[in-house]
């Protein structure tokens, strides 16, 4: 079956691309940039092919490709996608070329290494989303850390080393716990199934049968690893540092895709592998998520650095996603998945736009700006749209996700309380406060700073090419979300069914 | 035409996109203005067509749904993007597009020469788009789309002159305040929607309302839903406690104040309450809350209006006060009266604002009425139309405001009680007083402006023609709703038209007490007499004896200051809500909790590991030979242990 | 040959080994340290040969060839490194070769 190799081709494209980059001469910057862009575009095209040949009504994994890897341990190279992973794969392949394009002028130092890192990063991200072998997943999960570490550490701001190390150790800490749980689970499988395995599809049958107290621990190990990545309050402090120090491209990928790996992990592993524990801990986790929503928004409100503001707003937005996942209703989980994409687009756009300003003035503090609407009207308009999408204005993408999450969590039998939703919905108010306040101080008013008049120029064609596709999707998801909701519908249902079978019927 | 109703949102949207994307290049003001106005004008014609078509249908077929596409389809949630064309939405649509069209035309004159001309028209069209979605939506989510959309346009248009100062801050601060306060209301609205979905398993109007009428649902659930929805309404329609944004919204251009902050958007809350009448009617306690809040808002805003000196501020508080009336009407179960007042209010308040705009325009952006005076001879057309609107709002018999206001007061008496009527009548008196104070200070008396710098002049026809049309409707608009007591067996036409919408709600409400026509006429006479005496008093004080006003304000200095400073509500909110949140977030949450405690713990762990390993590190001398010695000693000991254990 | 008891060889080998160990531990001259390592290797070779001869098993002697090959290779690389270090630092005193230490 030729088609089954599609995902492998998808994965191979950036791998081969990143290796080929190494053969270029360091000085051929332009060539390397074009090459990197071309490779990422090829990957995007392949992912589109996957999308168009994907059967949206089939709840099973599709395009499965399995090759034995370590025979004695039953570990195999095993990839496949369902709707949820596919939408995130598309997000990844969509954002990567855009970020590469956005760095055209911003990255001058060691372009070769940078392009290599970005392509390598894409491999890691794609691998995480398509792995159906938990061991393979773990390898990609860790592999992705390395390029990100370098991207922050080499091309970052002043405190880049601190931020890079903090990012690395934080994530590493969580994933080591996960490794232990993975090994434990695989060993446990050999007692029930009779053979050691890391095949996710097999483990779906094993996980729920793990004795209750041990399952709690394993759920905890997985959850901690993902929660750090999300990041869930109070494990979020690496995020502002990493975002602030990372170069624009790093921030966009970090916010756009990397954080989604955490929430993806929750959906793909925590819920179906350990349904009983997931249901048991759902209220506690949701409390953390709701705290994160409000806390992130409040802290975001008083930031003086634009990037930090957007970073803290991520904490708030991802709180919504976690709440949606652990409310475990069809509406809320679908909302959470779409919100993952939304956050990637809106926050990605916001980071790109902050980067546009930064490229011109090398300043990120809000106080430095003021009245730029007069100087850069086009930029101000684009920023307005990105901001409104982040606020969750109906008709744009943010609303769809938030609305579904809130309405789902409101009637969730797992949470069984309105208070989660009531507090979470107050985040809607705060989102308006912090973003509008920033917008007002940066864009409106008189031009406060004479320097701005000399340094600021409006967005150029390249920047528009980067931002317009994102805006198109922002509107598309807002107006006609069915395209995207349909993609994830059956997959969501099958995950919730898995949870429901083992914990009493949660689905209506 | 009913099936073409989507044109009424599509055309303004197209106008928004054309002007928004290409307006900067078009440059020609006429073209931009005509595109913008035509989009709304044609929409009006479409609505009119649909209205006429609907009139031709028998009463039970007058509610039609136009489906566009499936919007959100998840789990049990099926939200269609669909429009509901029925008596209520048609009434609102006619007002929105009709008054909206006139204001668009007016704006061509008013905004002449502004460098953001194209931006203005694109925002205005976007507003009409959102507002039409709000009134036409066939479910709560589409309504919410419009609801937030109008909030956004309000934000954009209040802050339209984003580089200008406004009072103590800037226009963009006022805009932000409006958006955020509205969001607080939206929060309530969202929760209301969630509860509706949970209770009725649908968000579609028809389904929800038919289930509300038939399902056995606890009154407390209805109460909670109604309360949440009402919180939303208080935000959008500027009622206590969320009214604070509306006076600040006057930072926007005057046509905006007329369209958004007087005629249409602010009535969205009234529309929503009246749309969900069955839910409110099923929760008598909340109905009382609505009525009381409406009443309190009405009298409070009217009292503030007495002493304001900014012409737009007076009108803004007047708007808040009139919105209070509408909620009073809704709260006592007179839903059709509240919509009737929405309509007449749209005519005369839009006219008042546009007239004020014409005055401001002629007075070179001066808004302080103390610096006007005697403008009657300079601006005759503006004066006459403004005067008509003033008569309408004060409820002088024969004009539109009289019919709707009287309807409300009568219902307040009949269903609420004497106290409701009394406070309502006092408010009407206050209204008459401050409106004639405004007219008197602006158009009569001494000219108090500086003749060297200010040359008052009448505005162009772009502006005066819409004024005249609105004046016409301010007079005759009321005749479709002549109360039963006068019209006899025909009954109240307007009420009859809307009757099918409210029938389920009326069925749930307690029946009207038996009141005679004599009572109604008596009360009407009393309230009209009160209003007329207030008019006379205002004209006397401000026309003949200005010193009286001064001595009164000196005598009651404390009270006067309280009114002048709007009961210090803004300051109280600032001190009780905004400051604590902001300072708490900055000083505690961020700088202490996040940086010191959470991150401190993280860095503390790192520090412990680092210093611990710094200590252990010392064992590693780096001299290979000493490692070898240790090795040898180890081997020797191991051997020794082996030998001994043998 | 057969008149000499096995213990003699072993004692000699042990003595050589101890000398080697002591040299590695005590001396500071890299070349001497290096020679001492060779000494230790050779003492091990001696032991291997001894056992091989006394037990009549040739594997031990084969093994010695391996050890000698490795030792030769090691000597070549090791001496090369020492010379390289000497060129850089003008000394082969291992106390002074401490660029990796911190």
pLDDT one-digit tens code per residue, B96-105:
999 999 999 9
Q: Is the pLDDT of residue B71 over 50?
A: yes
pLDDT value of residue A502: 82
Please indicate whether residue A202 or residue C84 has the higher confidence score (pLDDT): C84
Inter-chain residue contact C101 with B629, CB threshold 8 Å:
no
What is the arithmetic mean of pLDDT over A312-336?
92
A250: Cα separation from own chain's centroid: 12
pLDDT value of residue B516: 74
Suggest the residue from B619, B620, B624 to mutate for an interface test with chain C (most C CBs closer than 10 A): B624
Inter-chain residue contact B632 with C102, CB threshold 8 Å:
no
Please indicate whether residue B563 or residue B97 has the higher confidence score (pLDDT): B97
pLDDT value of residue B104: 92
The overall average pLDDT reported for chain A is: 88
Scanning A285-314 for CB atoms below 8 A from B yields 295, 298-299, 301-303
Instruction: Name the residue in chain B with its Cα closest to that of C99.
Output: B622
SS3 A101: helix
Instruction: Name the residue in chain C with its Cα closest to that of B630.
Output: C25
Task: Give the separation between CA B63 and CA B84, rounded to whole angstroms.
Answer: 7
Inter-chain residue contact C24 with B628, CB threshold 8 Å:
yes
pLDDT one-digit tens code per residue, A361-371:
888 888 888 88
Q: Is the pLDDT of residue A505 over 60?
A: no
Could you tell me how many CB contacts below 8 A there are between chain B and chain C? 17
Between CA C81 and CA C88, with CA C84 as vertex, the angle to 5 degrees is: 135
Between CA B484 and CA B493, with CA B488 as vertex, the angle to 5 degrees is: 55
Sign of CA dihedral B54, B58, B59, B64: negative
Q: Is the pLDDT of residue A506 over 70?
A: no
Inter-chain residue contact B581 with A298, CB threshold 8 Å:
yes
B353 touches chain A (CB under 8 A): no
Q: What ipTM score was computed for the predicted complex, to two decimals? A: 0.89
pLDDT value of residue A95: 92
pLDDT band at residue A48, thresholds of 50, 70 and 90? very high
Task: Give the separation between CA A15 and CA B432, rounded to whole angstroms.
Answer: 79
Question: Nearest to residue B440, comparing CAs of B548, B347, B349, B299?
Answer: B548
Residue with tokens 């055309």: B11
Q: Is the pLDDT of residue B554 over 50?
A: yes
pLDDT value of residue B306: 87
What is the arithmetic mean of pLDDT over A38-45?
92
pLDDT value of residue A507: 45
pLDDT one-digit tens code per residue, A428-448:
888 888 898 888 888 888 887
What is the arithmetic mean of pLDDT over B302-317?
89
Domain residue spans of chain B: 335-509+517-562, 571-645
CATH 1.10.287.3510 fits C6-89, yes or no: yes
Sign of CA dihedral A64, A68, A69, A73: positive
pLDDT band at residue B413, thresholds of 50, 70 and 90? confident
Chain B residues within 8 A of C101 when measuring between CB atoms: 621-623
**pLDDT < 70 stretches in chain C:** 1-2, 100-102
Best mean pLDDT range from A319-323, B68-72, B282-286: A319-323
pLDDT value of residue A508: 41
pLDDT band at residue A1, thresholds of 50, 70 and 90? very low
Domain residue spans of chain C: 6-89
Instruction: Name the residue in chain B with its Cα closest to that of C28.
Output: B625
pLDDT value of residue C18: 92
pLDDT one-digit tens code per residue, A274-289:
888 888 899 999 999 9
Task: Give the separation between CA B127 and CA B151, rounded to whole angstroms.
Answer: 9
A485 touches chain B (CB under 8 A): yes
Domain residue spans of chain A: 280-508
Phi and psi, residue B116, nearest 5°: -100, 25
Question: Nearest to residue B15, comparing CAs of B128, B154, B178, B141?
Answer: B128
Residues 6+ apart with CB under 8 A from B389: B347, B348, B349, B351, B352, B355, B470, B471, B474
pLDDT value of residue A291: 93
A81 touches chain B (CB under 8 A): no
Q: Is the pLDDT of residue A470 over 50?
A: yes
């Amino acid at each position: 079956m030729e088609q089954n190799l599609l995902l492998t081709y998808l994965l191979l494209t950036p791998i081969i691309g990143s290796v080929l980059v190494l053969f270029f001469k360091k000085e051929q910057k332009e060539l390397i940039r074009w090459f990197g862009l071309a490779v990422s575009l090829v990957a995007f095209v392949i992912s589109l092919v996957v999308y168009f040949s994907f059967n949206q009504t089939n709840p099973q994994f599709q395009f499965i490709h399995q090759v034995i890897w370590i025979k004695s341990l039953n570990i195999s190279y095993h990839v496949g996608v369902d709707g949820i992973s596919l939408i995130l794969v598309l997000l990844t392949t969509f954002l990567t070329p855009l970020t590469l394009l956005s760095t055209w002028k911003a990255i001058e130092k060691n372009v070769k290494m940078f392009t290599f890192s970005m392509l390598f990063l894409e491999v890691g991200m794609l691998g995480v989303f398509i792995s159906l072998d938990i061991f393979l997943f773990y390898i990609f999960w860790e592999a992705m850390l390395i390029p990100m570490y370098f991207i922050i550490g080499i091309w970052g701001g002043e405190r880049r080393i601190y931020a890079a190390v903090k990012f690395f150790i934080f994530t590493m800490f969580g994933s080591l716990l996960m490794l232990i749980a993975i090994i434990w689970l695989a060993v446990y499988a050999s007692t029930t199934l009779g053979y050691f395995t890391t095949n996710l599809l097999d483990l779906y049958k094993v996980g729920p049968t793990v004795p209750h107290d041990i399952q709690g621990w394993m759920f905890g190990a997985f959850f901690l690893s993902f929660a750090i990545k999300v990041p869930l309050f109070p494990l979020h402090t690496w995020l502002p540092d990493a975002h602030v120090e990372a170069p624009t491209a790093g921030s966009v990928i970090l916010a756009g895709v990397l954080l989604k790996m955490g929430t993806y992990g929750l959906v793909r592993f925590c819920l179906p592998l350990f349904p009983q524990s997931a249901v048991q801990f759902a209220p506690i986790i949701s409390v953390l998520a709701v705290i994160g929503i409000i806390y992130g928004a409040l802290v975001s409100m008083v930031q003086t650095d634009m990037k930090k503001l957007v970073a803290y707003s991520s904490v708030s937005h991802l709180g919504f996603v976690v709440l949606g996942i652990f409310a475990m209703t069809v509406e809320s989980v679908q909302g959470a998945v779409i919100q993952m994409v939304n956050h990637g687009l809106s926050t990605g756009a916001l980071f790109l736009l902050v980067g546009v300003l930064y490229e011109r003035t090398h300043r990120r503090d809000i106080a430095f700006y003021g009245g730029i609407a007069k100087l850069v009207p086009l930029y101000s308009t684009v920023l307005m749209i990105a901001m409104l999408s982040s606020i969750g204005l109906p008709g744009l993408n943010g609303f769809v996700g938030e609305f579904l999450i809130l309405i789902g969590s409101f009637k969730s039998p797992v949470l069984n309380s309105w208070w989660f939703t009531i507090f979470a919905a107050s985040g809607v108010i705060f989102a308006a406060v912090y973003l509008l306040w920033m917008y007002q101080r940066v864009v409106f008013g008189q031009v406060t700073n004479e320097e701005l008049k000399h340094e600021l120029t409006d967005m150029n064609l390249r920047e528009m090419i980067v931002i317009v596709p994102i805006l198109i999707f922002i509107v598309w998801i807002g107006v006609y979300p069915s395209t995207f909701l349909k993609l994830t519908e059956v997959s969501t249902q099958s995950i919730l069914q898995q949870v429901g079978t083992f914990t009493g019927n949660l689905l209506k | 035409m009913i099936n073409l109703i989507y044109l009424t949102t599509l055309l303004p949207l197209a106008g928004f996109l054309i002007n928004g994307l290409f307006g900067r290049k078009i440059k020609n003001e006429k073209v931009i203005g005509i595109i913008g106005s035509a989009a709304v004008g044609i929409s009006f014609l479409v609505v009119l067509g649909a209205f006429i078509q609907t009139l031709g249908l028998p009463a039970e077929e007058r509610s039609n749904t136009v489906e566009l596409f499936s919007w959100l389809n998840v789990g049990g949630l099926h939200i269609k993007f669909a429009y509901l064309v029925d008596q209520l939405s048609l009434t609102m649509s006619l007002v929105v597009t009709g008054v909206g069209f006139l204001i668009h035309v007016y704006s061509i004159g008013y905004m002449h020469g502004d460098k953001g001309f194209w931006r203005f028209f694109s925002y205005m069209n976007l507003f009409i788009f959102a507002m039409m979605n709000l009134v036409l939506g066939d479910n709560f989510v589409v309504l919410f789309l419009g609801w937030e959309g109008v909030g956004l346009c309000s934000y954009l248009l209040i802050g339209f002159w984003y580089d200008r100062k406004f009072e103590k801050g800037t226009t963009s601060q006022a805009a932000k305040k409006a958006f955020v306060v509205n969001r607080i209301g939206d929060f309530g609205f969202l929760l209301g929607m969630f509860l509706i979905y949970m209770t009725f398993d649908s968000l579609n109007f028809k389904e929800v309302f038919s289930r509300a009428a038939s399902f056995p649902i606890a009154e407390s659930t209805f109460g909670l839903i109604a309360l949440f929805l009402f919180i939303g309404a208080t935000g959008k329609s500027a009622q206590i406690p969320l009214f604070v944004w509306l006076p600040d919204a006057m930072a926007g251009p005057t046509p905006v104040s007329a369209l958004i902050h007087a005629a249409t958007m602010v009535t969205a809350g009234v529309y929503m309450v009246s749309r969900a009448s069955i839910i409110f009617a099923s929760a008598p306690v909340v109905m009382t809350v609505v009525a009381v809040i409406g009443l309190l808002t009405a009298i409070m805003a009217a009292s503030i209006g007495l002493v304001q000196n900014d012409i737009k501020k007076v009108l803004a508080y007047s708007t808040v006060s009139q919105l209070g009336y509408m909620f009073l009407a809704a709260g006592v179960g007179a839903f059709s009266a509240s919509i009737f007042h929405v309509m007449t209010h749209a005519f005369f308040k839009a006219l008042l604002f546009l007239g004020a705009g014409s005055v401001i325009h002629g007075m070179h952006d001066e808004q302080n009425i103390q610096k006007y005076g005697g403008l009657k001879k300079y601006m005759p057309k503006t004066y006459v139309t403004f005067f008509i609107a003033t008569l309408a709002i004060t409820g002088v018999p024969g004009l539109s405001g009289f019919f709707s206001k009287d309807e409300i007061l009568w219902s307040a008496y009949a269903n609420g009680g004497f106290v409701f009527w009394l406070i309502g009548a006092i408010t009407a008196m206050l209204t008459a007083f401050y409106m004639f104070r405004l007219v008197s200070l602006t158009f009569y008396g001494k000219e108090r402006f500086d003749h060297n710098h200010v040359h008052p002049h009448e505005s162009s026809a772009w502006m005066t023609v819409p004024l005249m049309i609105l004046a016409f409707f301010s007079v005759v608009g009321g005749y479709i709703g002549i109360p039963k007591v006068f019209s006899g067996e025909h009954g109240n036409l307007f009420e009859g038209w809307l009757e099918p919408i409210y029938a389920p709600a009326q069925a749930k409400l307690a029946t009207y007490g038996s009141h005679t026509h004599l009572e109604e006429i008596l009360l009407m006479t009393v309230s009209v007499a009160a209003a007329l005496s207030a008019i006379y008093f205002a004209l006397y004080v401000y026309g003949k004896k200005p010193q009286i006003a001064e001595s009164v304000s000196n005598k009651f200095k404390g009270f006067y200051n309280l009114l002048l400073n709007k009961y210090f509500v803004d300051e109280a909110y600032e001190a009780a809500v905004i400051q604590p949140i902001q300072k708490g977030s900055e000083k505690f949450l961020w700088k202490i909790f996040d940086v010191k405690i959470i991150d401190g713990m993280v860095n503390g762990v790192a520090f412990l590991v680092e210093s611990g390993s710094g200590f252990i590190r010392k064992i590693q001398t780096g001299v290979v030979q000493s490692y070898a010695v240790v090795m040898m000693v180890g081997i020797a000991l191991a051997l020794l242990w082996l030998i001994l254990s043998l | 040959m057969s008149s000499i008891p096995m213990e003699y060889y072993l004692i000699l080998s042990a003595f050589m080994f101890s000398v080697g160990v002591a040299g590695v531990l005590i001396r500071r001259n890299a070349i001497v340290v290096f020679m001492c390592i060779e000494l230790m290797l050779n003492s091990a070779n001696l032991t291997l040969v001894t056992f091989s001869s006394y037990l009549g098993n040739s594997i031990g002697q084969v093994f010695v060839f391996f050890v000698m090959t490795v030792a030769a290779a090691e000597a070549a690389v090791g001496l090369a490194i020492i010379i390289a270090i000497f060129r850089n630092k003008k000394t082969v005193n291992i106390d002074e070769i401490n660029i990796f230490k911190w």
